Amino acid sequence: MSPMNSEPEIALAVRGLSKTFDRKAVDDISLTIKAGEFYALLGPNGAGKTTCLRMVAGLLEPDAGEIHIFGVDARKDPRAAKRILAWLPDEPMLYEKLTAWEYLEFIAGLWGLAPKPARQRAEELLERLQLTQQRHQRCEGFSRGMRQKTALAAALLTEPRFLMLDEPLTGLDVEIARTVKDILGERVRAGGTVILTTHILDVAERLATRVGIIAGGRMRAEGTLAELRALTGPEGRSLEDVFLDLVSGTPAQPEPAPGPGTLQAAGAAS
């Protein structure tokens, strides 16, 4: 039996993570996320957020660094690491000729989920994300928001221990965005771990347990909102104020475009 005061399990430990394309996209980043945390990774355009998450997801090979997901060395045993997580990229890639329901069936089969519970879970997710009426429509005809919702349903279908999302609210209307925030909060309260990138700082301010701010490929600050405020000025400042102070003067650069294989749930199971 674990002692009552035992520390939470480490969901993600990254040490010295680096990646260079035509420039240094990620430069010696280290961070630790405990199980049950809601972690927001923030930064201006081109800061290295997406590149960092794609390396954690196993879709990009780092030039240097270590990645451990719930104790699994993701670089030495990528298959085992990918089985733990679900990944939602900023540009969801679906199988265009499948319907939303067929796509979820495909993901359930890929992960070896029991058919009956998987169908029940899929129906619940489609209902909450207001996709029930479109469940038998092919993904090729979906709007940006419908594609985002289908991809999110696929990522949540497996009830992952570790959920990574890159700009998950892009293309969603206000009502569905609120639902997505509720679902993510429920995942954390149920013991899951969430890390997301977002440019909507209000989301990070309201939901995140801790925040990491990167710019120019380097981690500028990390901690609770109270800890970040203490770094930059008086109490009561908004996360926007803190963010702008920490990234001020950092030139924005485009991040490399995603390559093939960025399918969020299918990629995670490969």
pLDDT along the chain (270 residues), means of 10: 65 97 94 96 93 94 97 95 92 93 96 95 97 95 94 94 94 93 93 93 90 94 88 75 79 49 39
Q: Answer yes or no: is 118 within a domain.
A: yes
CATH at residue 230: 3.40.50.300
The pLDDT score that the predictor gives to residue 250 is: 56
CB 148 within 8 Å of CB 158:
no
pTM of the model: 0.86
Which pLDDT value is given to residue 104?
97
Determine contact, residues 43/213, Cβ cutoff 8 Å.
yes
Number of separate domains in the chain: 1
What count of residues does the chain have?
Answer: 270
Residues 6 or more apart whose CB falls under 8 angstroms from that of 197 comprise: 40, 41, 42, 43, 49, 50, 53, 90, 165, 166, 167
Q: How many angstroms separate the CA atoms of 229 and 143, rounded?
A: 39
Instruction: Identify the pLDDT of residue 181.
Output: 94
pLDDT at 261: 37
Q: Determine, yes or no, domain membership for 3.
A: no
Look up the domain containing 265 and give its range: 10-269
8 A C-beta contact, residue 86 and residue 35: no
- What pLDDT is recorded for position 248? 78
- Residue 221 in any domain: the answer is yes
The CA R_g of the chain, rounded to the nearest whole Å, is 18
Is 163 a domain residue? yes
Q: Is 2 inside any structural domain?
A: no
The verdict on residue 123 lying in a domain is: yes
pLDDT digits (tens, 9 = 90+) for 221-252: 999 988 888 887 666 678 888 888 888 755 44
Residue type, 48: G
Residue 225 within any structural domain of the chain:
yes
Of 242, 193, 226, the closest CA to residue 84 belongs to 193
Residue 73 lies in a domain: yes
C-alpha span between 183 and 38 (Å, rounded): 12
